[in-house]
């Protein structure tokens, strides 16, 4: 008989297994200078043969006061007119990497899929800018939506926030900040394999520390770049899993997606449980056979895991933003 206490063997989809093998050798993206790592990710995501929804787009510059000016990309489904709800999308890639190019396809897919106007802050990245700069810049863009969005046909009564990886962390922190600072209610938050804490000792961290694309050492490096002062990592705006039940209870309807073979899996699911315990309307789904970033990476775009998760996210956002 099989010992049922043993963890189930993780069997990755072929594309995820290939990605894990390809990214395992040293030096890894977290072991090279930030500028080099940024170029690596841009190159990885520059496939011109990957379909992208057609959009109309423009750029604005948002004044974030002492936190600087935030270049912000705005898109809407091509050829549409009139008011639409708003999706504020906060990109991931360890606070260090990622930009409007690396996340272009996913941003388009979610904004167009939700029939919304998408807003994408190009926040200052770590280590050049540290916590909480990125959070304050994102919040300034959210405030800009409320104050100026109507001039761009944004229905500011219907706003959701979404992000993946550290962008998922910053998305729920945006919702926490919005509630604390008296912002307009959000319709929903969508957290894709989010960072929620700086605890590197969870079972998923222990079991998946190496060999599954995102490593424990890589996440430690990202945290050091973003929040080198360890004493601040227990602040709820840095690690939302540390928020109180009272703070969590003020958050909107939430979707949490996690990946089976991801060091961040357990903290994402723990956060979903904490939200549910606080009375928040939460749906949490673990996608099997895949790794971190599976919705972002073009090489995993057409996997079963990405297809089913993308459908879940789009349906969730469309329903949450419906008139």
Catalytic choice (20, 30, 165, 171)? 165
Catalytic choice (91, 103, 212, 292)? 292
Catalytic choice (104, 124, 197, 262)? 262
Helix (H) and strand (E) counts in the chain: 10, 8
Catalytic residue status for 165: yes
Cβ-proximal residues to 241 (8 Å cutoff; 6+ apart), any chain = 196, 197, 199, 267, 270, 271, 274
> Token digits for 73?
């990309």
Catalytic residue status for 281: no
Catalytic residue status for 148: no
Q: How far is CA 203 from CA 215, 244, 264, 279, 320, in A?
A: 13, 23, 10, 26, 33
Cα within 13 Å of Cα(277), Cβ side: 12
Helix axes 133-148 and 166-180, enclosed angle (nearest 10) = 60
Kindly report the backbone phi and psi dihedral angles of residue 253, in degrees, each rounded to the nearest multiple of 5, phi listed first.
-50, 135
* Nearest-angstrom CA–CA distance, 320 and 31: 40
Strands 253-261, 282-291: pairing is parallel
Kindly report the backbone phi and psi dihedral angles of residue 73, in degrees, each rounded to the nearest multiple of 5, phi listed first.
-90, 135
> Which residue numbers are catalytic?
165, 262, 292
């Amino acid at each position: 008989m099989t010992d049922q206490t043993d963890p189930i063997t993780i069997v990755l989809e072929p594309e995820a297994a290939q990605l894990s093998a390809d990214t395992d050798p040293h030096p890894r993206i977290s072991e090279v200078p930030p500028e080099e790592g940024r170029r690596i990710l841009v190159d990885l995501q520059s496939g011109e043969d990957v379909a992208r929804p057609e959009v109309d787009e423009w750029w604005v510059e948002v004044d974030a006061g002492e936190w600087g000016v935030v270049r912000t990309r705005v898109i809407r489904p091509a050829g549409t007119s009139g008011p639409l709800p708003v999706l504020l999308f906060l990109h991931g890639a360890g606070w260090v990497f990622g930009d409007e190019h690396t996340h272009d396809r996913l941003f388009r897919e979610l904004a167009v899929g939700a029939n919304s106007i998408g807003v994408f802050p190009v926040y200052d990245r770590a280590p050049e800018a540290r916590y909480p700069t990125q959070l304050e810049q994102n919040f300034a863009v959210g405030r800009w939506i409320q104050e100026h969005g109507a001039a761009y046909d944004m229905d500011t009564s219907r706003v959701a926030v979404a992000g993946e990886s550290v962008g998922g962390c910053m998305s729920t922190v945006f919702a926490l900040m919005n509630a604390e600072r008296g912002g307009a209610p959000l319709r929903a938050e969508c957290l894709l394999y989010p960072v929620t804490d700086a605890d590197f000792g969870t079972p998923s961290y222990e079991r998946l520390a190496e060999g599954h694309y995102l490593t424990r050492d890589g996440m430690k490096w990202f945290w050091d770049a973003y929040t080198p002062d360890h004493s601040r990592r227990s602040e709820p705006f840095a690690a939302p899993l540390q928020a109180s039940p009272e703070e969590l209870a003020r958050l909107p309807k939430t979707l949490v997606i996690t990946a089976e073979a991801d060091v961040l899996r357990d903290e994402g699911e723990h956060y979903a449980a904490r939200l549910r315990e606080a009375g928040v309307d939460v749906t949490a789904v673990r996608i099997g056979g895949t790794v971190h970033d599976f919705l972002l990476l073009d090489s995993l775009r057409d996997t079963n895991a990405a297809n089913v998760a993308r459908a879940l996210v789009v349906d969730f956002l469309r329903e949450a933003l419906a008139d």
